[in-house]
Amino acid sequence: MSREMPRVVYIEDEPEMIDLVKIILSRKHYEVIGASGGREGLDTVRRVSPDIILLDLMMPDIDGWEVYQQLKADEATRAIPVIVVTAKAQNIDKVLGLHIAKVDDYIAKPFTPKELLDSLEKILEKQA
């Protein structure tokens, strides 16, 4: 990571969730860029090359799994870690995400600020 503040793109269709995550992470010196939905998220990731992506699964335009597949299929975005942040919190969803799709982490909504920060820090340390 070349920047002092890790750059996070949060792809989420609920503006309130983006605002909440911005508040939590900005206090810990993260730069958070919100993207409203899958299409905007893909464009934003390609434009700003974040250090990490937070990705909601249930979105109206392109669902999170499709966004994830497109990110991993693109050589320019393939290596960016992805944390799924979703209300789809059943065990089968988590198993699919972590072990089959190979996302970097999976956080269920509602989550605590500590859960979010711990996940980000763990993944960014691996990247360093």
Q: What whole-number distance in Å separates Cα of residue 114 and Cα of residue 77?
A: 27
Output the pLDDT for position 27. 96
Q: At what angle do helices 15-26 and 113-127 cross, to 10 degrees?
A: 70
Residue 1 belongs to some domain of the structure: no
Q: For position 54, what pLDDT does the model report?
A: 98
Beta-ladder partners of 34: 10
Mean pLDDT of 26-40: 97
Average pLDDT (107-119) is 94
pLDDT tens profile 52-102: 999 998 899 998 989 999 999 999 999 999 999 988 666 555 556 555 567
| Structural domain harbouring 22 | 7-127
Separation between Cα atoms, residue 48 and residue 6, nearest integer Å? 12
Question: How big is the CA angle at 85 (ends 79 and 88), to the nearest 5 degrees?
Answer: 125
The answer to the question of residue 2 being in a domain is: no
Residue 97 has what pLDDT? Answer: 55
Q: pLDDT value at position 96?
A: 62
Tell me whether residue 22 is in a domain. Answer: yes
Please report the beta strands in 12-108, taking only residues with DSSP state E, as ranges in sequence order: 31-35, 52-55, 82-86, 105-108
Q: Is 81 part of any domain?
A: yes
> Token digits for 9?
């793109």
pTM value is 0.90
Q: Give the CATH number of the domain where residue 32 resides.
A: 3.40.50.2300
Greater pLDDT, 101 or 111: 111
Separation of alpha carbons 96 and 122, rounded Å: 20
Contacts (Cβ under 8 Å, ≥6 apart) of 14? 56
Contact 33, 44 (CB under 8 A): yes
Q: For the chain, how many structural domains are there in total?
A: 1
Mean pLDDT of the chain: 89
**Has residue 1 got a pLDDT over 50?**
no
